[in-house]
Amino acid sequence: MTAIQALILVTVLGADPLGPGDHTRTVLMGEQKRRYLFHVPKDYDSKKPVPVVLALHGAAMDGAMMVRFSGLNKKSDESGFVVVYPSGSGVGPFRTWNAGGFSGKMAEGKADDVAFIGKLLDDLGAVVKVDEKRVYACGMSNGGMMCYRLAAELSDRIAAVAPVAGTIAIEESKPKRPVPVIHFHGSKDNIVPFEMVKGKSPSFMKLKGVEDSIQTWVKLNGCEEKPKTDTISKDGDEMKVTRTCYGGGKDASEVVLVVIEEGGHTWPGQKPPVGFIGKSAKNISANDLMWEFFQKHKFK
């Protein structure tokens, strides 16, 4: 390659460095570098604002693992949103989110992950034309818990959330605005149980049960107390899936609970990476359902 060719290549890349495909960036939080991966959809037009979906990994994972675990890159290309895979804090691939719930020594020195996500969104907006009215968050397990924290503490930037197998871990939620929620949970989840029974949850961490988490946001959003429930699985499907919707919330917000009967600590529609976390639904797709939900909700 000649010097002129190299100069032309640098100029071209500099003009549009972050087109469709996979990218990595880092954000400096104090003296610590925090990394995030993101996938720009194949039909991305840098002149048009694009929706963003944050995909938060579970405990003992990182952003790269969440790419494979969730399968969201495919949905990103199909539906035209940027999907972002941040990594929590920790060592190597074994990272966690400060989603709340810890007490004693476990609560000391935790990263401010709400501030990190805010700074990440600022950084992403510098290289991608983000539609700030359509920024969403989904997450698995500890990442789902972090979704609830973002809804409570970053509601001015997050339009809606989709926790999967993760419940509320913070003691108090005080959002600045109603935040629509769609929550997915398996009835046989043995890692984040559907109901938090005393003695069966970790002593160093306080979590709400699924129903308590749902009712918290039903009240916060001002939704109707009486929900509408339907079965979204088909007759003969191996796993029954029900959807309970609390509508009529402030600013057209709603709270939806999708329950997978016999489902484990898994991402519906994706094959579990290991068997001990339980069964995953094959007859529904969390990715499809959450994106359908997100499309209904954006900042006014």
288 φ, ψ (degrees, to nearest 5): -70, -45
Mean pLDDT, rounded, for 37-58: 97
18 φ, ψ (degrees, to nearest 5): -125, 70
Cα angle 52, 289, 175; round to 5: 55
Confidence of residue 4 (pLDDT cuts 50, 70, 90): very low
State residue 108's pLDDT score. 64
Whether residue 167 contacts residue 265, with contact meaning beta carbons closer than 8 Å, is answered with no
Q: Write the pLDDT tens digit of every residue in 92-108.
A: 888 999 999 776 666 66
User: How big is the chain by its Cα radius of gyration, in Å?
Assistant: 19
Whether residue 151 contacts residue 175, with contact meaning beta carbons closer than 8 Å, is answered with yes
CB count within 10 Å of CB 262 equals 13
Q: Is the pLDDT of residue 83 over 70?
A: yes
For the chain, domains (ranges, CATH) are: 18-296 (3.40.50.1820)
Confidence of residue 276 (pLDDT cuts 50, 70, 90): confident
Q: Write the pLDDT tens digit of every residue in 244-271.
A: 999 999 999 999 999 999 999 999 999 9
State residue 206's pLDDT score. 84
Q: Is the pLDDT of residue 202 over 70?
A: no
Confidence of residue 182 (pLDDT cuts 50, 70, 90): very high
Q: Write the pLDDT tens digit of every residue in 150-172.
A: 999 999 999 999 999 999 999 99
Q: Is the pLDDT of residue 16 over 70?
A: no
pLDDT > 70 in the chain, percent: 89
Q: Is the pLDDT of residue 115 over 60?
A: yes
Confidence of residue 13 (pLDDT cuts 50, 70, 90): very low
**Between residues 209 and 197, which one has the greater pLDDT?**
209
Confidence of residue 203 (pLDDT cuts 50, 70, 90): low
Residues 6+ apart with CB under 8 A from 109: none
Q: Is the pLDDT of residue 118 over 60?
A: yes
State residue 239's pLDDT score. 95
Q: Write the pLDDT tens digit of every residue in 208-248.
A: 999 999 999 999 999 999 999 999 999 889 899 999 999 99
Q: Is the pLDDT of residue 175 over 60?
A: yes
HSE-up of residue 255 (Cα within 13 Å, Cβ side)? 25
